Structure 1
Amino acid sequence: MTESVITEFTGSQRDSISRVYRYGVGGIQVQDSHDVTRRLYRFDPSSNTMTENDPAQPGKILRRFVFDNYGMLEEAFSFGQPPRTFRYEAGGRQIVMREGGDYGAVGKTFSFEENGIAETAFGRDGSVERAYVFEPGGGAITIRSGGWYGDIERRLVCERINASVFREPEAFLQFLMFTEKSQREIDAEIDEQVAKIRGGSAPAPGQSRFAYTGPRHTSDDGGRPGGTAAPRPPDRSAPRPDNCPAGSPARRPEMRAGGSPDSGIDFIPDGDSSPQNASRGNPAARERSNGIPFEERWQSATNDREELSVGRSARIPLEERFQSAHDERGELTQGRSARIPLEERFQDAEGDKDELTPGRSTQISYEERKTGRKLQ
């Protein structure tokens, strides 16, 4: 059998390859845009399982996916990751994902519709979170975020394989497992896209991917971008004006020329003066207001204030205010549902319950689960 290739593109454009899936008889290799194998999946048709192995150590199993007639069980061989179960419901036209086992909370539902498969997260009141659209001809699968007409999140182009094979519930679960992305992989793709926009300069370790990397203003160039010629040093013999205090912008170039250390803070020549040194209004008026005592200012403000009067509503007694509200309040009556006995309410739910059967994962021995290797 010829190896099939599924190429994944980010967004609607076909010039940004994010991952490549090499789909063969033995398993699937997931490679990034630099042809580095990031994930490795192997099939075991005899036990109807699929395992995710460590690419660096192919014999080490990271996860096991056990398929049966009721759905699929995911077993994670790492601490802190609870198992997930995917069960067929509504006659196989819907898959319900539960976190923590068969009796865990419902996390997502996948509904098989005519146009594709709709993914709904629990708590979204039935609104579609993601849609898997199968294009006519079976050449590609388009994943849209937010619904059937939402923005294109990813696009998977199939070569030597028909995309319609993943429309079956069991095949779609397999497709869902090897195409899902972790938060670490999503962050790595964002960093790579930011590096391409900046011209190949990847962010330094510990630096935000959104940090500004352009020319900066330093304190030794007076607020000019890097590379601009420095101005002529000021004439120190020239007298400084009397109204220019120490530390003002007029003296800062002289202090920097004297060899003061660079603080690394952008310097704006006209923006570091204190508000008290700004000359606004009439200087004579400011001097007169400084000489007025605080008691004289407060006394004039108190004399001009009018006394507040009591409103007319304060004369109405409280009993008269709330009498109309008590008169309009009617007696609460019990609903019709209170007359139905509890046995009759839950009789249908008890009758619809099916007997639970142990899954195929119980047939795997404890030693095999613990070691992560299949015993011979």
Structure 2
Amino acid sequence: MNAQQPLPLIGVTMGDGAGIGPEVIVPAVLDPSTLSRCRPVVIGDAARLRQAARILAVDCEIVTVPTPAEAAPAPGRIDVVDLGLLPADLPWGRLSAVAGHAAYEYVRRAAELALAGAIDAICTAPLNKEALRAAGHVYPGHAELLAHFTGVEEVSMMLSTEKVKVIHVTTHMGLIDAIDRIEPGLVERTVRRGHEALVRVGVDEPVIGVCGINPHAGENGLFGYGEEEEKIVPALERVREDGIDARGPLPADTAFFLASRGDYDLIVAMYHDQGHGPVKVLGIEAGVNLTVGLPVIRTSVDHGTAFDIAGTGKAGAGSMIEALRQAAGMSTAR
């Protein structure tokens, strides 16, 4: 980065205020490594962040700013675009339609700011899908919500850890529905989005491993009904024509091991648990969730609202710090 170029401005949405979002944001945005890479500004509720800081016994100044441009991040200071949507007595760790609506509004404002160029990337604390639905906002999660706000029809979820990166063909749907949804066009678009994302952050010639659907990737028709040949192979043939190094279909039970030792830069998972399980075993605390295919950069923690420990000060901020690091890195690469 040029010495005169300012650090990227990252909008940090507070997530569900009844969960651990405020408690992981406070230490993460104050962390010296964060401040060395970016200028974080929280989009949420200043009063809730002050409550979180008291719970954590963190001495800091929480400053409300009208716009991200007026933020001046510094050691011991947290800048907040304050939407003021949460009541002072909102309980920690309980499902709340009020908190669900507030989380929706934080993301909406962040999307507006990103599209307007007022922030360089979005980094999200976790929201709660039930609370979102209770507030009348029926979206499976952040990815679909951001796609709606940015006018994008289709995005992909990518999970990133130090050892493994995985992008999903399908995510938040039942397994039977996922298998029905998988088709060559969707597999092809997912592989291309994954390839583009890696190139964007400096992997010049990514090697991509693509999982099968059935055990042992069907083992030449022994398992399943030819789904690999019907749904995956045609997609791989098309992307290879354009020089993308996509290999498979691979048995999923070995693909992640091979990726963890460096054989693949990215694994393409066919459905939610096929990708999420191995990644979370490898380290949920350092995992980051990226939404690929948006016109804005978005990273997130790879954990939920953790209502069981919200308000106790026990939540670790490692995933949020890593999400901010990757948001800053992608902003700079762009």
Same fold (TM over 0.5): no
- Higher RCO (C-alpha 8 Å, min separation 6): 2
Structure with the higher fraction of residues in strand conformation: 1
TM bin, normalised by shorter chain, reads under 0.3
TM-score normalised per structure 2: 0.20
Structure with the higher fraction of residues in helix conformation: 2
TM-score normalised per structure 1: 0.19
Which of structures 1 and 2 has the bigger CA Rg?
1
